[in-house]
């Protein structure tokens, strides 16, 4: 499983295209983020990311994110 840290630049598929942004935090417990309930644990984390283009927040599983250089 990929590991990301705060500040990492990442990309992900979004509405038929690709979005880019920055990791804001690693989520390791159930919480409210990006306007929805996020189910996460230490063994199954998710990442809150901020879109460069829209400025909006999203939450993704590690497999949906690709680290950019």
Encode pLDDT of 7-25 as tens digits: 999 999 988 899 999 999 9
Q: Residue 57 and residue 29: Cα distance in Å, rounded?
A: 18
Give the pLDDT score at 10: 98
Does this model's pTM top 0.75? My answer is yes
Give the pLDDT score at 14: 87
Give the pLDDT score at 24: 97
Give counts: helices (H), strands (E), the chain.
0, 7
Q: What is the DSSP letter of 6?
A: T
Give the pLDDT score at 62: 97
Cα–Cα nearest to 23, from 45, 8, 2: 8
Give the pLDDT score at 69: 80
Regions of the chain short of the pLDDT cut 50: none
| Strand pairing category for 31-33 and 36-38 | antiparallel
């Amino acid at each position: 499983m990929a590991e990301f840290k705060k500040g990492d630049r990442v990309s992900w598929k979004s509405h038929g295209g690709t979005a880019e942004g920055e990791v804001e935090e690693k989520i390791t417990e159930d919480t409210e983020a990006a306007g929805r309930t996020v189910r996460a644990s230490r063994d199954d984390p998710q990442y809150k990311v901020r879109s460069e283009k829209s400025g909006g927040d999203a939450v993704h599983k590690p497999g949906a994110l690709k680290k950019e250089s």
